[in-house]
Structures are given as C-alpha cells and as structure tokens.
Amino acid sequence: LYFDGEGWLWVNLDGTICSMDPETGEIRWTLDENVFCRVSYIDSAGHLWAVFGQNDIRRYDLKAGKARLSKSFRVDDGVFTISEGKGGSIWLSSVRKLFVIDRNDQVKHVVPSGAPAFSMLLSDPRTHRVFMFTVNDGLYELHEDYSVTRVETGDIKGISYVMTSSDGTMWLGTYNEGVIRLNEESGLMERIGKDKGLTDLSVKSIVEDSDGNIWFSTRSDIIRYDVRTKELSTVH
C-alpha cells in the first residue's frame, strides 16, 4: 500500500498494480503490463517503482491516479524488495545482495558491512530509516554507509513490515501474529489481533493517511484503523 502525492492509494493486487479511491475502496485504474509484479514502491520524489518477473525494474511517473513508464533497469539477480536510502538512491535487495540505483540512474552492487543473511529491505517513509529483515536473527537497520545495527523488538517473531507513524509510534506487521504497536523509547507494545477486529493475522504492508489513520493490507483485505476511535474497518 502507498499513497501518492495526490491522495490516490496504490495497491499490488495479486501481481497487478492498481490505483484505488481511498474513500470508496473502488479500483479506479489498472497498470496493464501483462507480467506479474513481484513488488512495488513509491519513492520520496513521487515515482512508482515496480519489479516484474525476476529482475525487470521499471520506474513510472504518476498523475491523476495513472502511471506512465519513464525508465527501465535490469540487474543480474532476482530482486525481492525496493527501498530508498536517505540520499534518495534506490536500494534493491536480492539473496544476500544489495544493488543501488543512484540519482544518475547508475546501478552498482554493494556489500552491507557485517550484515547477517537477509531476506529483504524496507524503507520507512517518515523517518527514512531502511530496515533489514533477516532469516533467523531479527530486525536490523541498514545505514547509508551500508553498515547495520540491530533493532530491539523483544521476542516478536516473523516481522513482515515496519512503519513509523506521525506520532512516532512504530507499527510492526507480522506473518501470523497480527500488528504490533511499539514505542521504541519505552519498549511498550500493544498487539492488534482478531480480538480487536483484524480479520487476518498475516500483514503484508502498513501505511498512514493524511488524517493519521493507519491502513493494513493482509492476504485477504485492506483494513483501516481509526486512531481516534481505535476501531478497525474493512475497506476492500
């Protein structure tokens, strides 16, 4: 899930990229590339990035809820995730590998210093931190010099997504444990699960809207969490 600068919600539905009206949940436009989209991302400059197949990376310009192809890239390995460094470069993760597309559209392979075996990277749009998800060793932060530090998340298992909201709360999605609200400073956690209305405990992505409400995508639904009432509602 990603909101663009005009307020459209962009969604990857079973490998097809769509724009959605967040007020109605209606699909308004579909990117018809006839190829499965593995992962997508909207960067800080408002470009939509998408990986098709294994290593076909495409960048799009967005306007009025539609996407127009602006440039294509290829790397030698299969790409699992797209993220963005603090300097605006685009980071692509592969199996224990990291590729960087700089602002001049040059692609290079870099080696993270001291990194354990990692499965994917993820950019936090508000703090611009880049998180590294490992196979068996918890959550790390990847820095601009490609060094890593471990993030203290207690005994939370199977973290699938990380997002920091405007009030500083860290939201953690998991594969089968629902959503965790984490205060990094105090270490206090709150779990949001089926008892609070979350229909599916496997969370694929989390995003905050302009009103401060939190949106989750799961295997089956798009769900909005009203921060004022603390109620969940299924949008799509």
* pLDDT tens for each residue of 36-81: 999 999 999 999 999 998 889 999 999 999 999 999 999 988 898 9
Mean pLDDT of 80-96: 88
- Listed as own residue / partner, the contacts of 119-124 with beta carbons closer than 8 Å and 24 or more positions apart are 119/80, 119/93, 120/80, 120/81, 120/93, 121/81, 121/83, 121/91, 121/93, 122/81, 122/83, 122/161, 122/162, 123/41, 123/83, 123/84, 123/85, 123/91, 124/162, 124/163, 124/164
Mean of all residue pLDDT scores within the chain: 91
pLDDT digits (tens, 9 = 90+) for 153-182: 877 878 989 999 999 999 999 988 999 999
Report yes or no on whether pTM surpasses 0.85: no
The candidate with the shortest Cα–Cα distance to 133, out of 172, 75, 186, 181, is 172
